[in-house]
Structure 1
């Protein structure tokens, strides 16, 4: 089994969906690279893109079509000016010209060159798409791609593509492996093992640097979210709430930048009610940014991107464990827990419902928090198990296919559950636990397989059809 770095699970992304936005964007970039390997961009006459299944059914709400166009246009979601996305897309649609790979202008008619096929699903995975390039000499290049969760893409031939296969020194594919190697190496902290394994990709110094960069991006995203008012795009008329909560909690206090704002949060009145409100505020801020094509941290997906930031920000604002080392260890442990779900179940709502997104992110956050609060290896794994146990069966039923209702509020719930799970684990003896993390991951996967497709990000069941939302 292939090893996965924690920074493939927790990484810079763009809203609103890792599976339905980042995945198709990555697939478009991969197809461009395939063209370059097989022929040349200058030889391309036309490009066609067809989305199937879940990608098609919720494609407009998730910006799947936008991701496909911008990816083919040579844009990078990690660096694109997110305020210019609408302008760039409208330019492609109105001009009916796409600049393939940013190099060659080709005709591109929306609805002809890009199709959302809601009637058909590809067998390999619900999030399927097919790219086709026609060259000047009449030859064709066709490639299928599948968005398998968290921005990861695959083909039928390869479970993951454009990645070097890495095997770590102490491969941890199950919770039992973590126990085994920590005991073998004499590690009392889970994160010490991850530091060693991450050296398969980079030095420990670089690992720390990357984790602190993630933390910097998290703070930036939360700060943007707590300072934006208005209505989220998409037609549901959902109001941003983070800014209002932030304003009420801070009262008349004024700040000029995120450092001053963060210090005000740290100095704010600490009581149970206020802390709970701040946790919700942090999660709402991130997911409101996500819902409006903002730059966020995918952890492990975009729909669940508010949970880990909310819990990590909670730890930095309201606990004594606020060193850079604590931040790094939190992120490493959270990311490693995510790899266990990725390898043994799924982190795709199209495959497993929202338990695969909010449930996994809550388990990751619970483990990270338990690690920095002084939990043993067993307690860290126990916290992750508890958090997932209480998300089992959670469906993915976004109204109108938008990552807004119920997705945004679910992040606040996932964060609160993560903190509760950590506190329970810290007061428990993991040796007496009746359910292991490996068992709950297996149960989550079995639940996913038994779940109706109506509750797997298709907007065909649950709240998506129970609530009458006018189209205009």
Structure 2
């Protein structure tokens, strides 16, 4: 059962599938390198983007999102004011500092990243499992040609900012939480409400509290009720902040289409 925390989340735009997902994939790739103790051997990283993710990639800043993810940023916490400078430095120096965490400690490692070939958009190719596919490769250029590739991973951005790697595509989550009112369709939502004499909002809240109840038994844990209230208070605060920033900032939004539209 997907939590409403997964559906309503803070993230950089303009697209959850083409911006948020690729940034998360980049960050997850670096975390894998750290976890597998491979990051110190990497000298170069490259990315291939396929299908729909490629066709609208530039307009949705997929390339920028991937670079920022590889640099250790996440969609909900990235400092948007730092993005232009980071991208400028990568293009100027042809280098990218990979960023991640190891037991809570920051790990940084500089690699070569070509502004020309670092990210390749395959407009006429698709990966087999989903139209929003991408592959990230890490290389050790000190080795022989057939041994250069240190690690490679295929990711799919499946919508709503969710990503899944090829090995787990289509598989059910092993430790998925159980809830009182499971559903997979609007029809099942309405059936649950009718059978139990409850509203949609009450049903969703009960499910949500049960999803987060497993953290309530630890020492100093926040109650499920407080966790839900605090999370959506943060969502509302962020929405208000975005509105306020838009009202008080002049200029054109990043990625906006300029020019006169056709009649």
TM-score with structure 1 length normalisation? Answer: 0.47
In the other structure, the counterpart of 1:62 is 60
Structure (1 or 2) with the greater helix fraction: 1
In the other structure, the counterpart of 1:194 is 204
In the other structure, the counterpart of 1:156 is 166
Matched, 1:166 2:177: yes
The alpha-carbon distance between structure 1 residues 146 and 232, as it changes in their structure 2 partners (threshold 3 A), is same
Matches within 5 A, 1:283-432: none
Cα deviation for residue 235 of structure 1 reads: 7.0
Matched, 1:204 2:244: no
Cα deviation for residue 211 of structure 1 reads: 1.6
Matched, 1:146 2:147: no
* Matched position secondary structure for 1:210: helix
Gap regions ≥5 residues in structure 2: 100-106, 213-223
Asked whether the equivalents of residues 41 and 103 of structure 1 are also in contact (C-alpha less than 8 Å), the reply is no
Of residues 18, 31, 50 in structure 2, which corresponds to 1:52? 50
Q: Distance in 1 between matches of 2:183 and 2:256?
A: 44
* Matched position secondary structure for 1:11: coil
Q: Which moved more, 1:74-83 or 1:132-141?
A: 132-141
Cα deviation for residue 106 of structure 1 reads: 0.8
Gap regions ≥5 residues in structure 1: 240-404, 406-466
Of residues 6, 12, 19 in structure 2, which corresponds to 1:8? 6
TM-score with structure 2 length normalisation? Answer: 0.81
The alpha-carbon distance between structure 1 residues 120 and 41, as it changes in their structure 2 partners (threshold 3 A), is same
Cα deviation for residue 237 of structure 1 reads: 2.7
Cα deviation for residue 198 of structure 1 reads: 0.6
Cα deviation for residue 17 of structure 1 reads: 1.2
The alpha-carbon distance between structure 1 residues 57 and 169, as it changes in their structure 2 partners (threshold 3 A), is same
Cα deviation for residue 166 of structure 1 reads: 2.7
In the other structure, the counterpart of 1:80 is 78
Asked whether the equivalents of residues 29 and 72 of structure 1 are also in contact (C-alpha less than 8 Å), the reply is yes
1:291-342 alpha-carbon deviations (Å, 9 max, x no partner) = xxxxxxxxxxxxxxxxxxxxxxxxxxxxxxxxxxxxxxxxxxxxxxxxxxxx
> How many correspondences in the alignment?
238
Q: Distance in 2 between matches of 1:96 and 1:160?
A: 37
- By relative contact order (CA 8 Å, sep 6+), the higher-ranking structure is 2
Matched, 1:180 2:191: yes
The alpha-carbon distance between structure 1 residues 48 and 182, as it changes in their structure 2 partners (threshold 3 A), is same
Matched, 1:132 2:137: yes
Q: Distance in 2 between matches of 1:179 and 1:236?
A: 41
* Matched position secondary structure for 1:201: helix
Asked whether the equivalents of residues 231 and 238 of structure 1 are also in contact (C-alpha less than 8 Å), the reply is no
Structure (1 or 2) with the greater strand fraction: 2
1:177-225 alpha-carbon deviations (Å, 9 max, x no partner) = 22333344332x2211111111233212211221222111111111222
Cα deviation for residue 19 of structure 1 reads: 1.0
Q: Distance in 1 between matches of 2:35 and 2:229?
A: 35
Q: Distance in 1 between matches of 2:96 and 2:115?
A: 10
* Matched position secondary structure for 2:49: strand
